[in-house]
Amino acid sequence: MEWFGRATVDFTHSTTPLSLKKKDGTTTNISKIVKGAVPPCQLNPLLYNGHLQTMWTAVKEHGPQIYYRRKIFHAQGKTCAGSFAVDFVTEPHDDADESLPPRTAYYSEEKLAKIASNDTRPMLIALHGLSGGSHEIYLRQGIAPLVESGDWEVCVVNARGCANSKLTSGVLFNARATWDIRQFVKWARETFPNRPLFAVGFSLGANILTNYVGEEGAECPLKAAISVGNPFNLEVSNKALQRTTLGKHVYSKTMGESLKRLIANHKEGLLKTSKLDFERIESVTYIHEFDRAVQTVLWGYPTETAYYRDASSSDAVLAIKIPFLAISALDDPIAVSEAIPFGEFEQNPHTVLCTTSLGGHLSWFEVGGKRWFAKPIFNFLTSMVSEIDLDAITPGSNPEPCGIPSVSEFVATRRKLELL
């Protein structure tokens, strides 16, 4: 047990971290920016391990009052046909739609027509965790300091079918579903051409974001990105869940049941657009059984472990070419420490991994109920905007790890699944 809730904070990064030019003409690097942004981690001493921290999320407090307006996007490619919803943080309003999560309403046609802007305000794009959405308390706590500062534009890309969004095809989200975030970032770049774009992902959303940033490589339109509670190696994380009583019968079962409810909510449409066996899905208890019954059927994976290997973001870390911060708790019972790719973070000069000895999964509860991770998110992003010359950042400008050319190349974001 850590002394009175004080967690140990450690950093893993390259010995030659990415050099960054400051607005005053001096230089710094990504490691210094991160270490300056991460405060001491003082958590609630009564929640003294990862299980207690994680289970405390079941205590449903109201959380920050974040208001949204929703825009529906239709997929541009036939392969990933369907639609997804993006919720934009707005000023408080009193016209929430009862069919949507609390404090959320659709944009009117008139307001949508005026959404484009040439302003230079920084914009954060958030991705939520498994079967969640913009309404989740952890996500609202994570973005609240930026919203309350009044200096940022913030939005949340909801996974398909989540946050009361309509599922319009048989194409669901999965752990490597980078197509919707890619389409949205492209749209944001065109609609807000002068805004520097940043992103944060939580849990499954962190895995998706890491894959996306790695796939984009030196062409990534984002100025920086943050991963929080990323499971990284999904096969390792899932085996760890099945290995213990709490992992299997509490965490895996809870996630499996949540996904079953999500599928049930969209059963009518999925009966028309997919070949899912709903009797088989009804017999599902654990998350790996859900992935076996749903993800393998929808995407053609032979087994759920093949899906986990294909969708894991651990190798994608090597391909990241923008400033990238990952925050993980070593006592996380879901995104387990053995799945964290420490070596990959040491190899890539664009990345820094911050680990805490306490925190659980998307928890890090302090006394009073706030979550510690909101502080490094806010500090890192505001430091990047206020201190760093963002225009001087050239993705991929640092030499390759160790500066040693090789006779062969490891393609970090190679994928085995071919989308036909």
Of 163, 168, 179, the C-alpha closest to 212 is 179
- 313 is annotated as an active-site residue: no
Half-sphere exposure of 31 (CA within 13 A, CB side): 14
DSSP letter assigned to residue 396: T
What is the 3-state secondary structure of 132-200? Answer: CCCCCHHHHHHHHHHHHHCCCEEEEECCCCCCCCCCCCCCCCCCCCCHHHHHHHHHHHHHCCCCCEEEE
User: d(Cα 97, Cα 199) in Å, to the nearest integer?
Assistant: 27
User: d(Cα 18, Cα 400) in Å, to the nearest integer?
Assistant: 11
3-state secondary structure of 244: coil
Tokens in use for 110?
């008139």
Name the active-site residue from 310, 331, 361, 363.
361
For residue 328, what are the β-bridge partners? 355
Neighbours of 311 (CB within 10 A): 25
Q: DSSP states of 1-46 as a string?
A: --GGGEE-EEEEE-SSPPEEEBTTS-EEEHHHHHHHH---EE--TT
- 203 is annotated as an active-site residue: yes
Name the active-site residue from 131, 165, 203, 312.
203
User: d(Cα 43, Cα 5) in Å, to the nearest integer?
Assistant: 5
Contacting residues for 253 by C-beta, under 8 A, at least 6 apart: 285, 286
User: d(Cα 322, Cα 393) in Å, to the nearest integer?
Assistant: 8
Name the active-site residue from 14, 332, 350, 363.
332
Contact of 132 with 139, CB cutoff 8 Å? yes
* H or E, element range at 227: strand 224-228
* H or E, element range at 21: strand 19-21
Of 89, 107, 88, the C-alpha closest to 97 is 107
- 332 is annotated as an active-site residue: yes
Residue found under tokens 């509860």:
365
Residues assigned a catalytic role: 203, 332, 361
